[in-house]
Amino acid sequence: MIFKDYYKILGVGQSSDDIEIKHAYRYQSKVWHPDKNPGKDVNEIMLDINEAYAILKDAAKRSRYDQEYERFFGTQAPNEVHHKEEDVDTEPMWTYDYEVQDEGLKEDIKDAREYAKELVNEFMQELKTSGKAAVKGAASNAFNYAVGWIGAGIIMTVLGGLIKSCN
């Protein structure tokens, strides 16, 4: 299992309280929302944001994570920290080539990832559904608008013909 810096993902410090973490989660969710990033695949980032929040919002999971966090960063100088090779060219970078030691934390992370996948999948499904509904509504309104103008044009033509024939 690869180690992720959940604090970096949410943009908070390790000493942040629950309220700061919740605000950071909401902020990052808005920043990386698919509607605000057209043409970019933000699924992985959204998964990481939700995974980070699932761990940091729970006191017991956060405690286990903090112990591993200290173990990881305490054994390496910041310039010795290595990112996975495939992450080197992408921003933001918060995934490290380090095997998580704590078995309980491994299970927490696995559960958090599954939870994050469910949330993102539900969100994407809802986004598709609402997008389809919006397109249907727009098409229906455009059709009604066009029919109205065509009907008005026919009525005006008939009225114009009646007025001309009366003269």
pLDDT band at 80; cut points 50, 70, 90 = very low
Give 14-49 pLDDT, tens digit per residue. Answer: 999 999 999 999 999 999 988 888 888 888 899 999
According to DSSP, the residues that pair with 96 across neighbouring strands are 3, 83
Domains detected in the chain = 2-166 (1.10.287.110)
Work out the percent of the chain whose per-residue pLDDT is above 70.
81
* CA dist list (Å): 60 to 72, 93, 155: 19, 26, 73
Give 52-77 pLDDT, tens digit per residue. Answer: 999 999 999 999 999 999 988 876 64
Q: Check residue 21 and give its pLDDT.
A: 97
Smallest Cα–Cα separation from 98: which of 7, 1, 14? 1
| CA atoms of 140 and 104, how far apart (whole Å) | 54
Give 117-136 pLDDT, tens digit per residue. Answer: 898 888 778 877 776 666 66
| CA atoms of 118 and 103, how far apart (whole Å) | 23
Tokens 């001309």 identify what position?
A: 164
Instruction: Give the largest CA-CA distance in the chain.
Output: 99
